[in-house]
Amino acid sequence: QCPLRRLLSCPGTVAADLRREEQSSGSAETGSEDRTPKKRFSEVQNERREQAQRTVLIHCPNKIDEKKFLKFLSQHGPINSHFFYESFGLYAVVEFCQKESVTSLQNITRTPSLGPEAAIPFKSRYFNLKLRNSSNQTSELSSIQCSNQSSPSSKKLYQLLCCAESVDDQLNTLLREFQLTEENTRLRYLTCSLIEDVAAAYFPDCAVRPFGSSVNSFGKLGCDLDMFLDLDEIGKFTAQKTSGNFLMEFQVKNVPSERVATQKILSVIGECLDQFGPGCVGVQKILNARCPLVRFSHQASGFQCDLTTNNRIALKSSELLYMYGALDSRVRALAFSVRCWARAHSLTSSIPGAWITNFSLTVMVIFFLQRRSPPILPTLDYLKTLADAEDKCIIEGYNCTFVRDLNRIKPSGNTETLELLLKEFFEYFGNFAFNKNSINIRQGKEQNKPESSPLHIQNPFETSLNVSKNVSQSQLQKFVDLARESAWILHQEGKDRPSPSSNQPWGLAALLLPSVANNVSLSKKKKKPASERIKNLLDSIKSSGAENSTATNGR
């Protein structure tokens, strides 16, 4: 048995805590075997939003008596749940059972007087708790359990991966360690809800909804928080139908285009967050981008936020990815590993540029899983055929219809292991004819590229657009080289895996190490031959050993 694994199984150690954490957070979100009915995206969004509206965020003194704190708050009504976390201080997220409790708490809360400085009064749900007499409160304090909001260090991840039982176990471990926790998800919805309170000063019936990786089930701890300011509720589409000869319309200001309207709205909300938004710092208005946005940091939660409006298709894309992620437990495990692999080798970056994005990588994983035989994921066109009248959705003239009830989609009969899928993913894209073909999850097959960008991934809804138009030829080549190298490593390893006791990185751990990139850069001077050689070697192994792959397949 590997020494580290022995340590991990030993009770009472930090390592054992890691194991327990891992086991307890495991199956609920990842088990495709679980046959309980799955919730629709909109149900999850509505429930979480309502929960966030009953929740408050409290900056606490570092030393606090948890019991007394909860007793104090429950004067305003019963508490449903709470947790603490640390981020430049101690914070508590407290969910009341009823919304009225929040109002009651706000009623006994005062606006601070800050001496020479002046406060701009704003009754938010983000509070500061002070102790009247700190000495008698701190006497018998037991330490507060804080929920972790960040992803594991590379060292911890590396240890966990090296001690895993199989490559499949490694992929599932990586997923469990990086996926958003229940607490982190709550904090994301709460942050949107707090921003909604600010935006509601201008647009009383607006909603601020999270989208992107915070809600599409592919988010990693630490990912940004994409927010959508939804103004449709204000009556654009929801006004009651009336009969008779009279028709009432609101007097409104008209502007030359939707884009100008979006820019004006975001400009004023950005200003508002900057001037009055508690905890909102570093507000930047990026209004001339293709999709105008306001970017800021929400200090208390630590989230980097991007607020957009008039971006309903992106919300629909999030729903689609959520569906794909929920259909089979292998989807998220594979996508997380591919995304971590890409990050480890600087194929993706937090700075915008010629790199591939996480969104594009996820679409590539979905496409690859549609291409398996039998397919692991259905095509978007097939999901459209399952849709009923209520699922019908046209946004800005684009048909975004697909079935939204997950329980109506039959599970795949494909039983391939994650190990095989990871290896084949790298082989598939290591050999993909990027020069002539486009990736298309709507039809689940390659299409001729309609334009000459190095990488063409059709936008699933705005089908004339390429989601990876920004990717340069050299970045694509780096992706292909690394994919081939990684396929090769997994292939070699399958034959000759280092013994667990040797503490050698193996499987996914070996792929995430910089050595893979080093190998590629070492071979840079003669890049083509190295990459081509690996491709040819893999091809020859494949053609001579089909039985080998069936053996892995059947496991």
Which residues contact ligand GTP by CB under 6 A? Answer: 211-213, 216, 219, 223-224, 226, 314, 317-318, 357-359, 459, 467
Least CB distance from residue 359 to ligand GTP, whole Å?
4
Tokens, residue 374: 């039998």
Report the residue number, 73 or 225, with the smaller CB distance to ligand GTP. Answer: 225
Token pair of 81 as six digits: 């749940």
In angstroms, give the least distance from the CB of 350 to Mg ion: 10
531 makes contact, choosing from Mg ion, ligand GTP, none, with CB < 5 to 8 Å by partner type, with none
Residue 374, preceding peptide bond in cis (omega within 30° of 0): yes
Q: Is 226 in the site for Mg ion (CB under 5 A)?
A: yes
Among the candidate windows 61-69, 140-148, 213-221, 529-537, which touches Mg ion by CB under 5 A?
Answer: 213-221
In sequence order, the β-bridge partners of residue 79 are: 96
For ligand GTP, which is the closer residue by CB, 60 or 363?
A: 363
Site for Mg ion in 143-202 (CB under 5 A): none
Angle at 17 between CA 157 and CA 173, to 5 degrees: 35
Least distance to ligand GTP, CB of residue 143, Å = 33
Q: How far is the CB of 131 from Mg ion (least distance, A)?
A: 38
Bridge partner list, 81: 95
Q: How many residues does the chain have?
A: 555
The sign of the torsion formed by the CA atoms of 62, 64, 69, 72 equals: negative
* Residue 304 or 443 having the CB closest to Mg ion: 304
Residue (of 304, 284, 315) closest to 209 by Cα position: 315
DSSP string spanning 232-266?
Answer: GGGTTTTPPP--SS----------S-HHHHHHHHH
- Using the minimum distance from each CB to Mg ion, give the nearer residue, 297 or 503: 297
CB of 467 to ligand GTP, least distance (A): 4
Contact 347, 355 (CB under 8 A): yes
Nearer Cβ to ligand GTP (262/531): 262
Q: Does 22 bind Mg ion (CB under 5 A)?
A: no
Alpha helices in 446-526, H assignment, sequence order? 473-495, 507-512, 514-522
Give the one entry of ligand GTP, Mg ion, none that residue 219 binds, where binding means its C-beta sits below a cut-off of 5 to 8 angstroms depending on kind: ligand GTP
Q: How far is the CB of 395 from ligand GTP (least distance, A)?
A: 11
d(CA 398, CA 417): 37
* Strand, helix or coil for residue 439: strand
Nearer to Mg ion, 213 or 466 (CB): 213
CB of 223: closest distance to Mg ion in angstroms? 6
296: left (phi over 0), alpha (psi -120 to 50) or beta: beta
Please choose, out of 205-213, 310-318, 494-502, 522-530, the segment that lies near Mg ion by the rule CB under 5 A.
205-213
Q: Which does 459 bind (CB under 5 to 8 A by kind): Mg ion, ligand GTP, none?
A: ligand GTP
Q: Which of 149, 172, 191, 213 binds Mg ion (CB under 5 A)?
A: 213
Of 22, 65, 224, 462, which lies in the binding site for Mg ion, with binding defined by CB under 5 A? 224
Is the Cβ of residue 69 or residue 359 nearer to ligand GTP in the bound state?
Answer: 359
Closer Cβ to ligand GTP, 301 or 358, answer by number: 358
Beta-carbon-side half-sphere exposure of residue 399 (alpha carbons within 13 Å):
11
Taking the C-alpha atoms of residue 273 and residue 282, their distance in angstroms, rounded to an integer, is 10
Which residue number places its CB atom closest to Mg ion? 212
Nearer to Mg ion, 224 or 274 (CB): 224
> What whole-number distance in Å separates Cα of residue 188 and Cα of residue 179?
13
Q: Could you tell me the smallest distance in angstroms from the CB atom of residue 302 to ligand GTP?
A: 15
Residue with nearest beta carbon to ligand GTP = 212
User: Which residues on neighbouring strands pair with residue 308, listed in sequence order?
Assistant: 228
CB of 479 vs Mg ion, minimal distance in Å: 20
Contact partner, 193, from ligand GTP, Mg ion, none, Cβ < 5-8 Å per class? none
The DSSP code sequence of 160-209 is HHHT-SSHHHHHHHHHHHHBPPHHHHHHHHHHHHHHHHHHTTTSTT-EEE
- What is the contact surface with Mg ion in residues (CB under 5 A)? 212-213, 224, 226
